[in-house]
Amino acid sequence: MEIDMKIVEEAKKPLSMHPKKFALWLFMASVMMVFAALTSAYIVRQAEGNWMVFDLPSLFWVNTGIILLSSVTLHWGYISAKRDDLATVKLAVGITTILGVGFLVGQWFAWEQMVVANVYLVGDRPSAVSGSFVYVISGLHGLHIVSGIIFLLIVLAAAFRYEIHSKNLTRMEMCLTYWHFLDALWLYLFLFMLFNR
Amino acid sequence: MATTDIHAAQHVHSHDEHGHDEHHAGNFWTKYIFSEDHKVIAKQYLITGMLWALLGGILSVIFRLQLGFPDMDVSWLRPVLGGWITEDGKLDPEFYLALVTMHGTIMVFFVLTAGLSGTFSNFLIPLQIGARDMASGFMNMLSYWFFFASSVVMFSSLFLSTGPAAGGWTIYPPLSALPQAIQGSGLGMTLWLIAMALFIVSTLLGGINYITTVINLRTRGMSFSRLPLTIWAFFFTAIIGLLSFPVLFAAALLLIFDRSFGTSFYLSDIYIGGEALPNVGGSPILFQHLFWFLGHPEVYIVLLPALGITSEIIATNSRKPIFGYKAMVGSMLFIAILSFVVWAHHMFVTGMNPFLGSIFMLLTLIIAVPSAVKIFNYVTTLWQGNIRFTPAMLFSIGMVSFFLTGGITGIFLGNSAIDIQLHDTYFVVAHFHLVMGSASFFGMLAGIYHWFPKMFGRMMDRRLGYIHFWVTFVGVYLVFFPMHYIGIAGFPRRYYSFTNFDAFSGFSDLNQLVSIAAILTLSAQFIFLFNFVYSIFRGRLAPPNPWKSNTLEWTTPRFPQHGNWPGEIPAVYRWPYDYSKPGAKEDYIPQHIPYSETPESNLPHENELIKLETDQASGHVQEGHRPAH
């Protein structure tokens, strides 16, 4: 092989990280901005007065527990994948998916609780906008949970094909990051609505 | 049991692997339509953006006819506009509002956001940072097709019997929320919202890709301090878009709920025909807050790419290093940050707390500082340069001119007291059409003239370029300069006609001048269109580096294939502005030339750098210089 012996100064490899993981973080930043906008709209409208105060449905507490638990089970799956314990990966991701669906079902029943308490999406008096906000915010979060469940299903399918293991963690890691994010996002939204009634 | 799939490896650097003469045997569909090649996607954005620009321009000329010649019989437009021309040959007033709205929407979003960022971020980011393609070619393709879908929806809304959205491009409720208020707030507004939702998805997909690519896929040696200013500008633009477009999405979502599901986020105490609407408890000001939180950064999403493109072109064609590289980057960063904390200057007259108004006024006026730094640096780059007046250079200098003249009126408008007089007058229209509209449009044209040889392998005709420039440049000033006077006289924007008011009976001659100049400016764009299309097929063949420029895109072959460089990606050893370096053989040293090959022009600290490296590296061959085989 012909070798060019010219010696030049070294061109350093610039800093970089995994492009897809990086893109996921950027996506989460934009999702965060949507909810930042909605919650600040909530505060701006609330500051104008004429604001109905009502108790959040008790099921929100249960659902918060469910989604926190689902984060734990997914992390369990992630640790198992790192240890190449593939059977546990399937189990853990499966449980997480079920918990995720359970959260969505729970949110639906929480809405029913609100309806029973005479809080509707479309209010009949000026102060009822507070109820509309709770429906829209929790509904949009639910939509993101749907996307998270789709991601979980993809990872679950991969786990059943034995594609999630210690040497192929990227998908699992991204799913974990996203699911933790959705969990933390709900926690923020729940506490926000709880303390800013 | 162990697994069978060993394709785990590294996906991170997979872009390095498909370097060697990738033959994309794809068919017509994968090569030109659903392409994942950033260069093809850039051209798709460019062509779509140009079609939109043409339509947006034609719409503006139609309503300028009404404003300049209110008594004119325009029934000759009936073959095109049909029922929008009334019995007595006049433009329908509601359609006039629709025209104004669609002109704004098309120009701001479809031309100067998608057409500008979409074209040049896509085209230049991988080529100038030395990457094979975007971080995700698939997402990039999706980005274009979401934009295309959005375009189709928006375009089809023009053909509704109730007309397209007509509540202004800012779509303030309650006007935009109530079909009873104006025809355009019916199906036209629904389609507007659908189109914008698709558009936001497209922008986010694109923006995520641009940021990821700039940070993660730079070639060896391409540190942040060696990035061309174009890349810095696209990078900041993408970050602003990523943070502000989701807020528009939230605003639009609540508006959709108000329009279609009966909620009252923005609506309250509205009586139509003496009857109260059921919607109560909302706040229309809330919409303005949310909208302008996007709306103001949007101004810089439109402007920053133009600033980046012109910085590059002016340095190249002045044959001088850009003056104050770090100040240029710093001022763009500062502008980007400030863009998020000035939104309420659009709302001084909404009855906001005057103290709050003072704060927003102060923050707004601070933007003058980084803007002035940029103007200063442009001028000092030109100063004593060996200037080459290519069409791209002329358009860049034109951009600096508009940025200055349009920016100065921003200082008036940013004052909450003066704004009481000037708010919603033609003064505002003149201001933002110069500083944001024309400046960005000139940046876009400059970019097309400058990178046309790289896009299509041929040169555009210079002489037609000069004619295009002078007619457009003079035309733009003739359109927007008189508007300042009309605005100071108190003429409100978006009015169908002024002849019915005694107070506004004057200035009809000035309005005629503006309309004639607008027609002239639009016609000049057909010279450009002809030049563009003709040069794609018949233009002079482009040399590899026609402008003797330093950046990496000129090291690619005349027709770069998917993957950009046939061999290895060149490494980068210096910043992109080594023009007219004292002692150098030529007046430019491209970025991929190492210091060790230019001992005659190196500065002392650069020689130190070589010595340091050769001591370490002596004996072992640098990876980057193994000849490709």
Interface test with B, best of A3, A8, A27 (most B CBs within 10 A): A8
DSSP per residue, B483-519: HHHHHHTTPBTT-S-STT-GGG-S-HHHHHHHHHHHH
- A–B: how many Cβ contacts below 8 A? 194
Q: B5 contacts in A (CB within 8 Å)? A: 161-163, 168
Q: How far is B222 from chain A (nearest CA, A)?
A: 6
A64's CB contacts (< 8 A; 6+ apart) are A186, A187, A190
**If DSSP states are collapsed to H, E and C, what string results for B244-260?**
HHHHHHHHHHHHHHHHH
Q: Report yes or no on A74 lying in a domain.
A: yes
Is pLDDT at B617 greater than 90 in this prediction? Answer: no
Q: B4 contacts in A (CB within 8 Å)? A: 162
Domain count, chain A: 1
Interface test with A, best of B3, B129, B204, B248 (most A CBs within 10 A): B3
| Whole-angstrom distance, CA of residue B483 vs CA of residue B429 | 8
Amino acid at B209: N
pLDDT cut 90: percent of chain B above it: 81
Question: Hey, are the CB atoms on A23 and B264 less than 8 Å from each other?
Answer: no
Question: Hey, are the CB atoms on B629 and A10 less than 8 Å from each other?
Answer: no
Question: Hey, are the CB atoms on A8 and B625 less than 8 Å from each other?
Answer: yes
Question: Hey, are the CB atoms on B263 and A122 less than 8 Å from each other?
Answer: yes
Q: Output the six-digit token pair for B499.
A: 């002849």
Mean pLDDT throughout A27-46? 95
Model confidence at B20, in pLDDT bands (50, 70, 90)? Answer: very low
Question: Hey, are the CB atoms on A7 and B282 less than 8 Å from each other?
Answer: no
SS3 content of chain A, % helix, strand, coil (to 5): 75, 0, 25
Q: Report yes or no on A42 lying in a domain.
A: no
pLDDT of A21: 93
The number of C-alpha atoms within 13 Å of B10 and in the hemisphere containing its C-beta is 9
Question: pLDDT tens-digit profile of B432-445?
Answer: 999 999 999 999 99
Q: What is the mean pLDDT of chain B?
A: 91
Question: Hey, are the CB atoms on A44 and B217 less than 8 Å from each other?
Answer: no
Question: Hey, are the CB atoms on A30 and B596 less than 8 Å from each other?
Answer: no
Is pLDDT at A5 greater than 60 in this prediction? Answer: no
Least confident of A23-27, B349-353, B501-505: B501-505
Question: Hey, are the CB atoms on B246 and A31 less than 8 Å from each other?
Answer: yes
Question: pLDDT tens-digit profile of A120-174?
Answer: 999 888 889 999 999 999 999 999 999 999 999 999 999 999 999 899 999 999 9
Interface test with B, best of A3, A7, A141 (most B CBs within 10 A): A7
Q: Report yes or no on A69 lying in a domain.
A: yes
End-to-end CA distance of chain A: 75
In the block, tokens 């800012």 appear at B170
Of B212, B278, B571, the CB nearest to A26: B212
Mean pLDDT throughout B396-409? 96
Which residue range is the domain that position A168 belongs to? 57-195
Question: pLDDT tens-digit profile of B31-73?
Answer: 888 999 999 999 999 999 999 999 999 999 999 999 999 989 9
Q: A10 contacts in B (CB within 8 Å)? A: 613, 616-617, 622
Is pLDDT at A48 greater than 60 in this prediction? Answer: yes
Q: Domain B35-538, what fold?
A: Cytochrome C Oxidase; Chain A (1.20.210)
Question: Hey, are the CB atoms on B11 and A10 less than 8 Å from each other?
Answer: no
Q: A37 contacts in B (CB within 8 Å)? A: 246-247, 249-251, 290, 293
Q: A30 contacts in B (CB within 8 Å)? A: 204, 208, 242-243, 245-246
Of B217, B250, B624, the CB nearest to A34: B250
B1's CB contacts (< 8 A; 6+ apart) are none
Is pLDDT at A60 greater than 60 in this prediction? Answer: yes
Q: How far is A92 from chain B (nearest CA, A)?
A: 19
Beta bridge partners of A165: A168
Mean pLDDT throughout B275-290? 91
Beta bridge partners of B579: B588
Residue of chain A whose alpha carbon sits nearest to that of B244: A33
Question: pLDDT tens-digit profile of A68-106?
Answer: 999 999 999 999 999 999 999 999 999 999 999 999 999
- Phi, psi angles (nearest 5°) of residue A194: -70, -45
Question: Hey, are the CB atoms on A10 and B616 less than 8 Å from each other?
Answer: yes
Residue of chain A whose alpha carbon sits nearest to that of B245: A30
Of B243, B261, B573, the CB nearest to A33: B243
Q: Report yes or no on A141 lying in a domain.
A: yes
Q: A50 contacts in B (CB within 8 Å)? A: 281
pLDDT of B613: 66
Q: Report yes or no on A20 lying in a domain.
A: no
Q: Report yes or no on A14 lying in a domain.
A: no
Question: Hey, are the CB atoms on A7 and B247 less than 8 Å from each other?
Answer: no
Question: pLDDT tens-digit profile of A178-196?
Answer: 999 999 999 999 999 999 9
Q: Report yes or no on A52 lying in a domain.
A: no
Model confidence at B607, in pLDDT bands (50, 70, 90)? Answer: confident
Question: Hey, are the CB atoms on A19 and B216 less than 8 Å from each other?
Answer: yes
Q: Report yes or no on A30 lying in a domain.
A: no
Question: Hey, are the CB atoms on B5 and A27 less than 8 Å from each other?
Answer: no
Question: Hey, are the CB atoms on B251 and A37 less than 8 Å from each other?
Answer: yes
Question: Hey, are the CB atoms on A10 and B622 less than 8 Å from each other?
Answer: yes
| Whole-angstrom distance, CA of residue B597 vs CA of residue B496 | 66
Is pLDDT at B506 greater than 90 in this prediction? Answer: no
Q: How far is A185 from chain B (nearest CA, A)?
A: 15
Model confidence at B608, in pLDDT bands (50, 70, 90)? Answer: confident
pLDDT of B18: 42
Cα angle vertex B314, ends B309, B320, to 5°? 130
Question: Hey, are the CB atoms on B247 and A37 less than 8 Å from each other?
Answer: yes
CATH of the domain at A163: 1.20.120.80
Question: Hey, are the CB atoms on A132 and B595 less than 8 Å from each other?
Answer: no
Q: How far is B144 from chain A (nearest CA, A)?
A: 17
